Amino acid sequence: MIDLLKPESSYYVVSDTATGKQQPIAKRVFDIIVSLLVTIFILSWFIPLIGLLIRLESKGPILFVQLRSGRNGRPFPCLKFRTMKYQKNASFKQATHNDIRVTRVGQVLRKTNLDELPQVLNVIAGHMSIVGPRPHPIPLDVQYLPLIPEYRQRFKTKPGITGLAQSKGLRGETAELNQMRHRVRYDIWYTKYASLSLDLKICWWTVEKMIKGDKNAW
């Protein structure tokens, strides 16, 4: 439960001279260091390897680029390894359990969250953070904004490659409204109590989920 998590102290912040708003400097430094290390030591060889496996199984691009909502609701091109059969100009539809669109390579990538690894490039570009509310596809935001009054509060911080809700198993399809409401409560809690120590905990919880498996990862 969220109530069992002890609130952490806030990040150190610095004023953004362009906007006049305060930005968390420690969080950005953490994001850049982690992203550069992952890019240099993992992505540099992982993208060619996974890209080859993806192309051997199905034709189409290696990366899947989808517009998602970022901080303050601004759209950005979110990167992922392509995990489904390629269909040009396909309409948005959430992945479901045993979705026939998902490839064999895609099943492994989605189960381990490795499909989201290219998003470290989004972090370097400033679109995302390592930790934050997971960015939703824009059609999903349009669907839930009028149904959940507090939904837009999750846009107060940059979206993350992983997040508190995801690390606690609240991920995957949101077939019922309460599933999204529960996820949003975790997201809002995070935006209020974000800290470097909490981010490190969430990263560790995420790694644990990757190793032990997550029933909602498909």
Instruction: Calculate the CA dihedral of residues 100, 137, 192, 147 and round it to 10 degrees.
Output: -90
CA distance 194 to 11: 7
| pTM metric for this prediction | 0.85
CA distance 203 to 208: 9
Taking only the tens of pLDDT, the chain with its 218 residues reads 333 333 334 443 434 433 344 457 889 999 999 999 999 999 999 999 999 999 999 999 999 999 999 999 999 999 999 999 988 777 777 777 778 899 999 999 998 999 999 999 999 999 999 999 999 999 999 999 999 999 999 999 999 999 999 999 888 778 889 999 999 999 999 999 999 999 999 999 999 988 887 666 65
SS3 call for 151: helix
Q: Find, among 133, 102, 118, 15, the residue nearest to 65 by Cα.
A: 118
